[in-house]
Chain A
Amino acid sequence: MSGNELLVRITVNGTEHVLGVRPNTTLLQVLRNDLDLTGTKKGCEMGDCGACTVLLDGRPVNSCLVLAVQADGSEVLTVEGLGGEAGLHALQKAFVKHGALQCGYCTSGMLMSARALIERSPEPTEREIREALGGNLCRCGTYPRLIEAIRDWKRFEDVELDTRPLDARERDQERDLDVVSHGVTRYDAPDKVSGRARYTADLKLPGMVYGKILTSPIPHGIIRRIDVGRARALPGVLAVITGQDVPDTWYGVSPARYDEQILARDRVRHVGDEVAAVAAIDEQTALEALRLIDVEYEELPAVFDPFEAMKPDAPQIHPENRRYEGNINTLVEWDFGDVDAAFAEADHVRRQRFVGNRTYQSPLEPHASLARWEHHGNRVTLWSATQVPHYVHQMVSRTLGIPMGDIRVIRPAIGGGFGGKAETTPLDFCAVLLSKITGRPVMMEYSREEMFLHFRGRHKQYMDLEVAVKKDGTILGVKSEIVLDGGAYTSFGVITAYYAGSMIPTLYKVPNYRYKGVRVYTNLPASGAFRGHGVPQPRFAFESMMDMLAEDLGLDPFEIRRRNAMDPDYRTCNALDISSCEFRATLDQAEAKSEWKAKKGRLPRGRGIGVGCGGFVSGAGYPIYRSDFPHSNAVIRVHEDATGVSLHIAAAEIGQGSDTVLTQIAAEELGIPYEQVWLVDCDTVLSPLDLGSYSSRVTLMAGNAVKMAAAEVRRQLFEAAASVLGCDPGGLVARDGRIFIREHPAVGMSWAEAGRLAFSRGGPVVGTGHYRPPKNLGGDFKGGTVGTSPAYSFSTAVCEVTVDEETGYVTVDRFVDFSDAGTVINPVTFHGQVEGAIIMGLGETLLEDTVVGEQGRLVNPNLHDYLIPSIHETPRIHSGAVESFEPRGPFGAKEIGEGSLLPVLGAIANAIYDACGVRITELPITPEKILRALREKREAAGGSR
């Protein structure tokens, strides 16, 4: 114990600890760092998110806001102690069985708040649950399931936990399915509810040190001089690097636009741009070292508005490359059909400008990377909080000049991504570089504020939309002009600019379509890919427009949508091939379930109902960089005694449930119980390449690869079994751990016996599978690849709101959603994705916007002022799936995670219009905007009297 440490006595989970702590140590740090109780999560460190909730003398507190010395003499309960001797607490089992977790990062905090609640109120009402969980945020939007699980907790008190669905059904005879289509519990649930799951920042290695990055305080400038002398001299500092010490190469996401550097060499382009990095023995020392780095900037004029940035005399943000002259990052000009003729023959044309918002993914888990060089010092292992292990692997290799074979990327548990973790970060590069220099494992994390400064959130889009229709509502043509505020770098933005145009003609039949997209550089943190990539704002605009047109023409909003609705096997004007499509069924069922006809136009003043529709790709048709290899690959190995198999797949579970879905697909195809599949954590040494979790690709693409690998294993077992049973392998069936002759079900053997037989004969039983999308998807025009996919999802959402016309406050009361996602592999994770998308969409529509203040500084880079939905905003949600089968998907499945966000924004905007007669065209729809619009409407009405 050093001189400035204080002795504290804290009882944690029943064990007394006497610790010497520095006064500035929080209880959270003691739990995680000193006691290795990493089930308690670090989300914001400011008391804004509740991820670090523990019970202090029985009461929930944010352990990030409690000094360890303040907890002296107290009893602390963490998630690790929740179950006590009994293993899992009934609440934990209820969470597992109800699917009340997704990424799992908020889960321990939720559990602790729930535990305090049930101590006081063993049979809590929904109201009490909402109150008790009001201080815990969940970005996956699991709130509806949390409410159900906590209401139902007592049922699990003396119950042994199993994986059976809560509403366990017999096998699906009609579709011949035992595991797929059943709501088995999540594969990752036991680890996540117990606090055992290790996220990147939870990892500890012997000798590990900490890295931090110095960022620019100015929005635009030239680095004249960097003096790192004082920082290097600080005791405890092991390395300091600047742009001069890293490879002089450009990197990015799309090879079409590599415009980023690991650390700025000469120019900074936004507040938060990365300038230098340090490694030190602890985080505190690293932060102190950052303050000792002296950077001399020559400040340059900066521009924060895309329209200003396009003016001739605007500051040039990327003068190093002439292709970006005028700050134009990407220009898309498409013209399909004969748009002018369509507009000329139209009965009615409506034009409207819509404006979006700069929303941030805000996953509860901050980005983190840990690197360690090993072997002869020539190989590096990188643990990264990423959705795209392969692209990180490839980009680190390419940028740092290390062969991919010398890099091992491991993806630990991920606390949500939503697109915000879909690219290689400076943390990845700097951790690798600093580890090399120091010879120590280096851990690097973003703080909540640094996450906002790194950004890669949604582009703010300025959308001029013009639609020409016939009297009956048939769409003849669409003109769309969109300016996207890209921030200082490309990130995914070139693809975003194409997506903003390509996905408009996939939902309704648009025979003639002109799209101009301009992505502009500004001195703001770069925008990137965010759930629904580029499409939610244009879809919000289009769905608002559909209602405006319906009103102009005297049509019901459902009627105009039906008139134009997409049909199966349709080629869009921009050469996208729609295969399965049950869009009409989603319209019909949402209309019926929501009681639309009884409610539309008939709700009392201040209440309203609205509809919105959407859909998305089931995986991008092309990879981000040009390559011929399959997009998803899987290996299944039968364990030697054949009582289990291991599934090696590098797809990225980020909370969406992909591990569960892929395990189910493997079990179904192999013919064994779900519990017998052992999914190997994503590790590029152990598993073959998978492109990762983006563009809603995992279920269809990785699912197909897994299914193929499983079929290959099954074939080998059938051959072994057939030789003993004396039958044709083609006549065998594998189901629920048994292999038998289809025509004589009594004749067969156990699956394990067949597996042992196969192993004894031929050695390891391994099956491999791969998936590549159909060749030559998309049109032969520039950008024709963006928006291509093997399959598309469709959904319709109906929303009911109450608007307080005195304050403008909107309460979303209810959502009814019906989706066409093909075969639903797991109903629990499926509905969890839909509910989460609705809640996230609600936040984007009503609450969220990063606000740019003076000199390009963000005003609200925290969860205190950037408000994401809490349990209080959670509406009643009905999520349904329509009957559908996608021939290209595994067992007929397609995507659900992103498409279900798309209807939400328009549905809410349309419901607000129905409630109070004002149409807000600029996101987010804040109470203040509604009140202003109501006043303007009153004044206009008064003026015309």
Chain B
Amino acid sequence: MKLDHFVYHRPGSLAEASELLRSLGDAAHFIAGGTDLLPDLKRGRERACHLVSLTGIDELRAIRLDDGRLQVGALASLAEVHESPAVRRAFPALAEAAGVLGGVQIRNQGTLGGNFCRAVPCADTPPICLAGGAEVVLSDGREERVVPAAEFFTGPRQTVLAPGEVMTALVVPPQPAGSGACYRRFTLRGGLALSVASVAARVVLDGEAIREARIVLGAVAPVPLPVAACGGLLAGQCPDDDLFGRAGEIAAREAQPISDIRGSAEYRRELVAVLTRRALAEAVRRARGDGRYDWEVQR
């Protein structure tokens, strides 16, 4: 499998990059890490006459934490997101999600922005970002706009990005006191495998009771799928296994899975129920300060 010829552009600024892409039209793509785009180009699923590299735009790389507000540059690699002390402090469940995807090599090369903009339904970082109330910062080189992560995805491999528009950063607002979040996914192989189904959960506890809960499903709908009905069920309730089980049943019902080589739609629904239960239970533990992330466990 080989790449067809294309022209490669290395703009030095965002404005230049956007302008280039607009002028080049349909046959042009932005490229960052390229871990998803290049395989698609090689197998002919997509075509490109021009690739416009974003890698030279350094301002898209930074990860910053200001007053609890986390800003992750779109060019930050998934490994950087996974390892970032700022991410681990402000919204560790995002570091968790970024650390399970692909293998080490893919995480070193692939970017957070790519994981969003390629909009693959089974992408691992979007669901937890939706659960955390994140927003996506977009720029057309002249003006910025901010879109809730929940509104960014419009279909499989489709987003609200206008031609020439670039995702510059992900912003995660300060997480409420008493909150805990968790990302759980199911894969057929222990690593280096796509999610068959995944669930992101964030709960906010008020004493013993759940004040607010969000469930977002991955790989079981055309886009990351928030399940509002789960939030409705859980709000005001005291967490227990039975409650989580009912939330799982709702999530399974709301899922819109397809059948493919990784699993039937029916099986995916079953997984959603289980993963919802497990993610909720762990999110509550974390909200109480009892939960653990992989990197906190003894090596």
Contact = CB atoms under 8 A, between A and B. Distances in A.
Given A23-B8, A135-B106, A928-B263, A283 B34 contact: no
B6 A135 contact: no
Contacts of B192: 48, 134-135, 137, 870
B42 A61 contact: no
B270 to A, nearest CB: 6
Interface in A128-177: 128, 131-132, 134-137
A50 B2 contact: no
A53 interface: yes
A61 B107 CA distance: 8
Contacts of A127: 299
B146 interface: no
Contacts of B267: 927-928, 931-932
Between B38, B193, B270, the greatest number of chain A beta carbons within 10 A of the residue's beta carbon is seen for: B38
A386 interface: no
Interface string B252-267: 0000000001111001
Nearest to B275: A807
Given A69-B10, A851-B261, A62 B53 contact: no
Interface in B9-58: 10, 31, 34-35, 38-39, 42-43, 51, 53, 55
A128 B191 contact: no
B104 A135 contact: yes
B102 A870 contact: no
B189 A67 contact: no
A56 to B, nearest CB: 8
B190 A23 contact: no
Give the contact-size bracket for chain A: 35 or more
B84 interface: no
Contacts of A865: 261-262
A760 interface: no
A841 to B, nearest CB: 16
B2 A47 contact: no
B201 interface: no
A48 B191 CA distance: 11
Interface in A1-53: 4, 6, 22-24, 26, 45-48, 50, 53
A65 interface: yes
A135 B8 contact: no
Contacts of A287: 2
Interface residues of B, number: 44
B109 A66 contact: yes
Given A69-B8, A865-B261, A45 B106 contact: no
Interface string A832-868: 0000000000000001000100000001100011010
Interface in A469-492: none
Nearest to B270: A931
Contact of A870 (B4, B186, B189): B189
A134 B3 contact: no
Contacts of B263: 928
B176 interface: no
Contacts of B55: 70
B39 A46 contact: yes
A273 B105 CA distance: 34
Contacts of A449: 1
A384 B143 CA distance: 59
B271 A807 contact: yes
Between B79, B191, B264, the greatest number of chain A beta carbons within 10 A of the residue's beta carbon is seen for: B191
Interface in B260-298: 261-264, 267, 270-271, 274
Contact of B1 (A45, A873, A931): A45
A45 B190 CA distance: 22
Contacts of A448: 1
A163 B6 CA distance: 50
A447 B31 CA distance: 25
Contacts of B43: 46
A394 interface: no
B108 interface: yes
Given A24-B3, A26-B3, A134-B103, A806 B193 contact: no
Contacts of B62: none
Given A45-B1, A61-B108, A283-B2, A136 B103 contact: yes
B2 A67 contact: no
B238 interface: no
B188 interface: yes
A60 interface: yes
A204 interface: no
A26 B108 CA distance: 17
A283 B4 CA distance: 11
Contacts of B108: 56, 59-61
Contacts of B8: 6, 23, 67, 69
B142 interface: no
A62 B103 CA distance: 10
A6 B261 CA distance: 40
B189 A867 contact: yes
Given A59-B108, A65-B34, A134-B104, A22 B190 contact: no
Nearest to A873: B190
A251 interface: no
A244 interface: no
B4 A926 contact: no
A62 B261 contact: no
Nearest to B10: A69
Contact of A50 (B6, B103, B264): B103
Contacts of A859: 261
Given A23-B6, A50-B103, A807-B271, A134 B191 contact: yes
Contact of A135 (B51, B102, B264): B102
Contact of A928 (B79, B102, B190, B264): B264
Between B2, B5, B189, the greatest number of chain A beta carbons within 10 A of the residue's beta carbon is seen for: B2
Interface string A792-828: 0000000000000011010000000000000000000
Given A24-B6, A859-B261, A809 B105 contact: no
Nearest to A121: B299
Contacts of B262: 865
Contacts of A873: 189-190
A597 interface: no
A69 B9 CA distance: 10
A113 interface: yes
Given A872-B190, A928-B267, A132 B274 contact: no
B193 A867 contact: yes
A807 B261 contact: no
A125 interface: yes
B7 interface: yes
Interface string B71-101: 0000000010000000000000000000000
Contact of A4 (B7, B53, B274): B7
A23 B50 CA distance: 10
Contacts of B53: 69-70
A249 interface: no
Enumerate the 10 nearest inter-chain pairs by beta-carbon distance, A residue then B residue, closest first: A135-B103, A872-B190, A23-B8, A134-B191, A24-B3, A59-B108, A806-B274, A928-B267, A135-B105, A125-B299
14 contacts: A24-B2, A45-B1, A47-B39, A50-B105, A61-B108, A65-B38, A65-B39, A134-B191, A135-B103, A287-B2, A869-B189, A927-B267, A928-B263, A928-B264
Interface of A: 4, 6, 22-24, 26, 45-48, 50, 53, 56, 59-62, 65-67, 69-70, 113, 116, 121, 125, 127-128, 131-132, 134-137, 283-284, 287, 447-449, 806-807, 809, 847, 851, 859-860, 864-865, 867, 869-873, 926-928, 931-932
Interface of B: 1-8, 10, 31, 34-35, 38-39, 42-43, 51, 53, 55, 79, 102-106, 108-109, 186, 188-194, 261-264, 267, 270-271, 274, 299
Given A26-B38, A70-B53, A927-B267, 15 more contacts: A6-B8, A45-B1, A46-B1, A46-B43, A53-B105, A56-B109, A65-B34, A66-B109, A127-B299, A134-B103, A136-B103, A137-B192, A847-B189, A927-B188, A928-B264
